[in-house]
Amino acid sequence: MFNFNTLRQLSIFTVLSLTLVGCTTSPEDEVERVSDNSPKARYVEAKKSLNDGMYNRAITILSDLESRYPFGPLSRQVQLDLIFAYYKSGKFAEALPSIDRFINLNPNHPQLDYVIYMKGLVNMETGINGFQDFFGIENADKDMVTSRDAFNDFNRLVDNYPESKYIPDAKKRMMILLDKLAHHEIVIAEYYMRRSAYVAALNRCKYVLEYYQQSTSVKDALTIMISAYDSLGLPEMKADAELALQNNQ
């Protein structure tokens, strides 16, 4: 014979179980349920997160969309937005592989100029030591590889996409990078001069004159060359450097 008390206990247990499940659901869990919606609805949520500056949240959604629907109708736009989200959140190590993969898989994409521009931005930001830059601390051994890469990225954009809307900003950044790279050579040349390594200092300055003629460091390079030639006892070469300096005043 069925026990009414047993039924009552089962009913109470069921109610308590449902109550506990409801209590353990956090607001974040509610947000994660977006993953059960359609890809388009989830993409809309990702775009909202991007517009609101919630880049990590956007990365979570976009990464999931990319892994679940790699060939969907929104796949390319998802990848582009993910690159932007990585850049804005400072996740440069994740941004560069995403950029290179997009370029390799979509060599004729209509927004490839944007992707190359983003690569320049990421390389320009990579490895920057804000503390040193803020206080003007020089480091002759500082790695400048990413700055050169950034310059080459922007140069590629200028050469291959002359009508791109990103060209004006890319050119401005190229000049900043040019001055940075040239100044780095001057810092090293001054380091060599303090240690009487005059030939090494001259080589650095000649490099500036050959590759960074449009930089603001040309005069500094010629000034160092005059001093180095004087220390080496080479009056004719010193005179040539002095004449070049006068022509650059």
- The answer to whether 15 and 22 are in contact (CB under 8 A) is no
Residue of 72 and 168 predicted with greater confidence: 168
Q: What range defines the domain where residue 84 resides? A: 33-89
Looking at the chain, the whole-number percentage of residues with pLDDT higher than 70 is 79
Residue 141 covered by a domain: no
What one-character-per-residue DSSP string does 167-218 give? Answer: HHHHHHHHHHHHHHHHHHHHHHHHHHHHTT-HHHHHHHHHHHHHH-TTSTTH
3-state helix, strand, coil in the chain (%, to 5): 75, 0, 25
Residue 150 covered by a domain: no
Q: pTM of this prediction? A: 0.77
- Distance between CA atoms of residues 241 and 229, nearest Å: 9
Residue 50 covered by a domain: yes
Burial 19-47 (b: 16+ CB within 10 A, else e): eeeeeeeeeeeeeeeeeeeebeebbebbe
Residue 137 covered by a domain: no
- Distance between CA atoms of residues 10 and 94, nearest Å: 52
- Distance between CA atoms of residues 86 and 92, nearest Å: 6
150-174 pLDDT, tens digit each: 999 999 999 999 999 999 999 999 9
- Distance between CA atoms of residues 31 and 139, nearest Å: 46
What is the pLDDT, as a whole number, of residue 178? 95
Residue 17 covered by a domain: no
- Among the ranges given (85-94, 120-129, 140-149, 172-181), the one the predictor scored with the smallest mean pLDDT: 140-149
Judged against a pLDDT cut of 80, whether residue 11 lies above it is answered with no
For residue 160, which phi and psi values (nearest 5 degrees)? -95, -20
Residue 136 covered by a domain: no
What is the pLDDT, as a whole number, of residue 23? 44
Residue 38 covered by a domain: yes
Burial 105-125 (b: 16+ CB within 10 A, else e): eeeeeeebbbbbbbbbbbbbe
Q: Tokens in use for 116? A: 């190359």
- The answer to whether 157 and 120 are in contact (CB under 8 A) is yes
Looking at the chain, the whole-number percentage of residues with pLDDT higher than 90 is 72
- Distance between CA atoms of residues 106 and 61, nearest Å: 22
60 falls in which pLDDT band (50, 70, 90)? Answer: very high
Residue 222 covered by a domain: no
Total tally of structural domains belonging to the chain: 1
Q: What is the mean pLDDT of residues 210-216?
A: 94
